Amino acid sequence: HCMMKLLGGQLDEHLYAWPDHGCSEAKGLSLRRTASLKANSVAYMHDKIGLHRIANPSMSEKAVSLHLYSPPYEMCKTFDETTGTAEMSR
């Protein structure tokens, strides 16, 4: 579980479907939706919902967010958007 609060600025959340690893060819991640989060917004994420990417859409304005993970973790998977392949990250 991941709970996130945007403390300042603006962030975009991109929600993707889990890649189909039963397929023999690499395919990009399938975008389900994009949401804009503004200051004081709260978001929730769980593996059952899908994958997500958080990005600051501004090249000049800063954004600050607080992420709480339960249970805490030491490693996670990061995905390549264009191929859907994953690797473990610390």
Which pLDDT score, from 0 to 100, does residue 14 have? 97
> Stretch 5-19: mean pLDDT, rounded?
96
Give the global pTM: 0.83
> Stretch 74-86: mean pLDDT, rounded?
90
The two tokens of residue 85 are: 């392949």
Decide the pairing of beta strands 42-45 and 2-8: antiparallel
> Stretch 37-52: mean pLDDT, rounded?
95
The CATH number assigned to the domain with range 2-89 reads 2.60.120.10
Q: How far apart are CA 5 and CA 18, in angstroms?
A: 24
